[in-house]
Amino acid sequence: MRTRPIPPALFAAVAIVTAGTARAQGTVSTQGFGYPPGQISAAAAALGGGPAETDAQSALNPAAIAAWIRPGIYVEYAPEFRTVDANGQSDHTTTSRFPLMSGAITIGSRITAGLSVSTLLDRTWETSRSGFDHFPSDSVQFTENFKVSGAINDVKPAFSVAVLSTLWLGVSADVYSGDNNLTILRTSQDTTVRTFSQQSRLSYSGVGASGGIMWQPGSQLAIGVSGRLGGRLTAYRNDTVLTRATAPKRAGAGITFTGLPGVVLAFHTDWDGWSSMNGLGQPGLLITNTWTYGGGVEFRGPSALGAPIALRVGYQHRGLPFLVNSSKIFESSYSGGLGFLLSQGRSRVDVSLVRASRTGLPGVTEHAWTAEFGIMVRP
């Protein structure tokens, strides 16, 4: 919108009224507050998220940390190579993520205490485009760059107690923290036009609580069920409260079957109540609750380094929480991976490769390769 002239007395009012809003981010997956990596380990990701409810390293079911058995730590690195096709053009981007770190210690024979830090929503993206500014006397080309980096993270201290020899109960707090660093840079080759830059930082804090059970009705079956209640989630600019909402609830269940020789079958489903975050963003930000279904198979492969290699394949389908132009976005992922046991089973290296397709917005397709590397060490 261009206006001229504006009476001087109206400057302030004009400025306030016309302060722009921004909702979209140049990609399908990083809409709104960002992309949810899933809070699951590389091994679980290779299996389509199937064992997420019974996986010790994943950060969903606090009861599952009992599966650590011994004290240990786990670190995951997951760069994503994304391609967005739209308007006959393609963007190829690389985003580095460290989506999950977790660890646990055992307290006696029945209690396990754990701590995980995982990415709930990763809002890292950058767009760059050119256009023309039409000034009163001429037109000047500009390049405009919007960049955001940061995430809302979930810090989860958890306890798991073996109430029976086959039943574990777990509870955890969910402490949300993180920030988004935002930068706008608008430049022009024309020396009569000054560069516009704006930097700001949003930070987030909030709380929630999770609980779960893990039940092993037989030696060949494990069932996990967990849920999370959301507390208050607040967005700040500097020390000013911008918005408040409720952290998203979730509920999930999963089953892992090991009854076939050398084969592990796992399946899970998850419901995320993202819509409770309505109000945290600007009015008009569309957030939807999502379902996730996924599963996979792990085969015992040939041996290397003195232990069998785990061969994993999986598939997952889920919705993404933030809508684009009122369209729901869905993600379908095929995955595969390898697991290497080290140190006589005390440590493990997982390598997973996930091919995701994100659809739902006509005319725009997004595909991504995500390589996930997880290292678990149990001294």
Residues 289-328 that bind another protein (CB under 8 A): 301-305, 308-309, 311, 322, 324-325
Interacting positions 36-65 with another protein (CB under 8 A): none
User: Of 198 and 220, which CB lies nearer to another protein in the complex structure?
Assistant: 198
Name every residue whose Cβ is closer than 8 Å to that of residue 105 and which is 6 or more positions away in sequence.
71, 112, 113, 114
3-state secondary structure of 45: helix
Cis peptide before 379 (omega within 30 of 0): no
Instruction: Give the C-alpha separation, 350 to 159, whole Å.
Output: 25
Interacting positions 161-190 with another protein (CB under 8 A): 180, 182, 184, 186
Q: By CB under 8 A, is residue 1 in contact with another protein?
A: yes
Name every residue whose Cβ is closer than 8 Å to that of residue 328 and which is 6 or more positions away in sequence.
288, 319, 320, 360
Q: By CB under 8 A, is residue 144 in contact with another protein?
A: yes
Instruction: Give the C-alpha separation, 345 to 317, whole Å.
Output: 31
CB of 101 to another protein, least distance (A): 18
CB of 96 to another protein, least distance (A): 5
Interacting positions 74-103 with another protein (CB under 8 A): 79, 81, 84-87, 89-96
Query: According to CB under 8 A, which one of 223, 251, 340, 359 is a site residue for another protein?
Result: 340
User: Of 111 and 371, which CB lies nearer to another protein in the complex structure?
Assistant: 371
284 phi and psi angles, rounded to 5 deg:
100, -15
User: Of 157 and 279, which CB lies nearer to another protein in the complex structure?
Assistant: 279
Q: Angle at Cα 338 formed by Cα 315 and Cα 160, nearest 5°?
A: 75
Interacting positions 244-273 with another protein (CB under 8 A): none
Interacting positions 349-378 with another protein (CB under 8 A): 349, 351, 353, 361, 363-364, 371, 373
Query: According to CB under 8 A, which one of 109, 165, 192, 326 is a site residue for another protein?
Result: 192
Q: By CB under 8 A, is residue 204 in contact with another protein?
A: no
CB of 175 to another protein, least distance (A): 21
**Residue carrying the six token digits 């089973």:** 345
CB of 133 to another protein, least distance (A): 5
Q: By CB under 8 A, is residue 241 in contact with another protein?
A: no
What DSSP character marks residue 277? G
User: Of 251 and 285, which CB lies nearer to another protein in the complex structure?
Assistant: 285
Q: By CB under 8 A, is residue 27 in contact with another protein?
A: yes
Name every residue whose Cβ is closer than 8 Å to that of residue 345 and which is 6 or more positions away in sequence.
307
Options 43-51, 65-73, 191-199, 261-269: segment touching another protein (CB under 8 A):
191-199
| Closest by Cα among 42, 49, 39, 51 to 350 | 42
CB of 271 to another protein, least distance (A): 22
Q: By CB under 8 A, is residue 344 in contact with another protein?
A: no
Q: Are 133 and 95 in contact (CB under 8 A)?
A: no
Q: Which two tokens stand for residue 145?
A: 């760059």
Q: Beta partners for 315?
A: 295, 334
Instruction: Give the C-alpha separation, 323 to 246, whole Å.
Output: 18
CB of 219 to another protein, least distance (A): 27
Instruction: Give the C-alpha separation, 51 to 32, whole Å.
Output: 28
User: Of 28 and 225, which CB lies nearer to another protein in the complex structure?
Assistant: 28
